[in-house]
Amino acid sequence: MPTPLPARPLDLALHLAALGWHILPLSPTSKRPLANCSRCRSAGRAHLIATCPCRPAGRWCHGVHAATTDPARLTAWWQHQPEVVPGVAAGPSGLILIDLDAHDDPLPTDPTTGLLPGIDLTGDPALADPAGIRTGLHTLALLTRRRGGPCPWPAVPEHQPVVVTTPSGGRHLWYRAPAANLRQALGALGWQIDIKAGWNYGLAPGAITTAGTYSLRAGDPAFPGRMPPWLAREVIRAASAPPARSQPHPAPPRARSAGAPANYLTTVITRGTAHLATLSDGRQRALSALAYQAGGLLAWSGLPEYQVTSWLIAAGEASGLPTRLATRLVHRALANGTQNPLSPSRI
Ligand SMILES: [Zn+2]
Ligand SMILES: [Zn+2]
């Protein structure tokens, strides 16, 4: 068994921060970052995180961007709000969180293509008994078997993640990040598997919320393991950012160079994401409109649906919408959009 973590929230925050985990304060009920100060909330669209005076002044505004390893700052936060729960900013800590859910969700309509996006499971013996697939742990086991190992981590300390059980029966696997610039990917690696990376966060190992304890089960927070190469490849595929744009405007759709449709949709999403980030009102409607448009272009673009979905959800989150709301809006609007496919001649 691993060494127990401190129970008191401040002690836990200081313990993990001393190991290089960047800590931010979360609400013990909603598990969301604490709210911005009234000045940041009312500052509106001209307000940039990079120039906000609150973080240099030691306040917790802007959620994951406020995460720190500074013991003085952490102590001040917890003295002010002793009941808040430590969260961990993935990217700044050099970590990535594989979040294996155990929600009571129905299986994807077509499990052969929906359980592991991008991988066709036709004929896989596991699908003979789909009732045996109930959580993200089962989906990860499926991916593991397809890609080459008996277990997501070979039996050597080098690959041992920090393993945490969650109050809802899920599992958190914290690894060292296998690459820079990874981002959140919800469901893109597999059904009930979310990847938290970059400017995303997870409940700290050892955190205690109103729903229960995030219990450390294996691994050492001082030395989170490296992913085995096959898993690193899969995670990088699922959690890579859209390609950087070299052109400020969408590629003309009639110029059918190879990849032009994919570039066009990528540009639509990139610009939509930037627009969303400037809005203080109407973000839900704008995200739905963007997802609807992306749905219309999806088939023509040739981009995989899971990739487009995860970019859109990340756009909603970056604008400040809660993950679950952004996920619901994107799924609904994208599906509606695909019912009304756009072809190049109609753009
Ligand atoms: Zn502020
Ligand atoms: Zn601010």
pLDDT of 241 reads: 60
Instruction: Report whether pLDDT(103) > 90.
Output: no
**Token representation of residue 13:** 């925050």
CA 206 to CA 81: how far, in whole Å? 18
Is the Cβ–Cβ distance between 195 and 239 less than 8 Å?
Answer: yes
Residues whose CB is under 5 A from ligand 2 (ion)? Answer: 40, 52, 54, 61
pLDDT in tens, 182-203: 988 988 899 999 999 999 999 9
What is the model's pLDDT at position 151?
A: 76
- In terms of pTM, does the model score above 0.75? no
Query: Which residues are within 8 A (CB) of 291 and not within 5 positions of it... i.e. 6 or more apart?
Result: 312, 329, 330, 332, 333, 334, 337
Look at residue 255 in the predicted model and tell me its pLDDT: 37
> Residues lining ligand 1 (ion), CB within 5 A?
37, 40, 54, 61
pLDDT-wise least confident of 19-33, 243-257, 274-288:
243-257
Measured CA to CA, the distance from residue 89 to residue 130 in angstroms comes to: 35
Which of 42-46, 145-149, 226-230 tops mean pLDDT?
226-230
Confidence of residue 253 (pLDDT cuts 50, 70, 90): very low
Q: How far is the CA of 52 from the centre of ligand 2 (A)?
A: 4
60 CA to centre of ligand 1 in angstroms: 7
pLDDT recorded at residue 344: 59
Ligand sitting nearest the alpha carbon of 65: 2
Q: Which one of the ligands is nearest to 43 CA?
A: 2
